[in-house]
Amino acid sequence: GKNGSNSRNGKRTKTVVTDVGPVTVEVPRDRAGAFEPQIVRKHQRRLTGVDEMVLSLSAKGLTHGEISAHLAEVYGADVSKGTISTITDSVMEGMAEWQARPLDSVYPVVFIDCVNVKIREGQVANRPIYMALAVTAEGHRDILGLWAGSEGGEGAKHWLRVLTELKNRGVEDVLMLVCDGLKGLPDAVGEVWPQTV
């Protein structure tokens, strides 16, 4: 039937892709439309375990075609490249929202550093990832953001852009900033937050 559903013995059935393979679910007939399933929602074709597997495989650098082939081979699950793209796109949208979220006006401590990470963009290459981690006034740790830089390593100019973005997202003051001895970095910090130690 359409969208993987059909009728069997007077009951509607649909196939749901799970992390243990395809599962057939019998759906009660409901003329009034009042039945609300709790585990497999109406029109849902995948359970969250599949989404998590797709994201994990994507993070390991597999292409959408490779992920689709892997799920078919290991789980017997038919997950199209289009579906995989939808799953990864939804995470990217959430990441963009998280990266632009408003921040606290004051942080007692902010740690900034750069780590080199292997990223696959056609081929695998080292890319610097700039990180800012804060300790909030309540004593909790909060990652303020992650920024991918270009090859060639860490630079004070890039840090100036990162710190300016944090200020534009609402951070008016940082009491203490912890960083390495990168040349020009103290000047960049002083330009954004003049009173920061």
pTM assigned to the model: 0.62
Nearest to 5 by CA among 40, 57, 54, 33: 40
Lowest mean pLDDT among 22-26, 57-61, 142-146, 187-191: 22-26
Residue 42's pLDDT band, with cuts at 50, 70 and 90, is: very low
Give per-residue burial for 10-28: e unless 16+ CB within 10 Å, then b. Answer: eeeebbbbbbeeeeeeeee
From residue 21, alpha-carbon distances to 11, 17, 76, 97 in Å are 22, 6, 6, 32
Lowest mean pLDDT among 8-12, 51-55, 98-102, 154-158: 8-12
Q: What would the mean pLDDT of 123-141 be, rounded to a whole number?
A: 90
Q: Is a pLDDT exceeding 90 seen at residue 11?
A: no
Residue 83's pLDDT band, with cuts at 50, 70 and 90, is: confident
Residue 39's pLDDT band, with cuts at 50, 70 and 90, is: very low
**DSSP symbol at 167:** H
Q: What would the mean pLDDT of 24-31 be, rounded to a whole number?
A: 62
Our measurement of the distance from residue 72's CA atom to the centroid of its chain's CA atoms, rounded to an integer in Å, reads 24
Q: Which residues pair with 119 in a beta bridge?
A: 125
Structural tokens at position 183: 């040349």
Length of the chain: 197
Q: Is a pLDDT exceeding 80 seen at residue 131?
A: yes
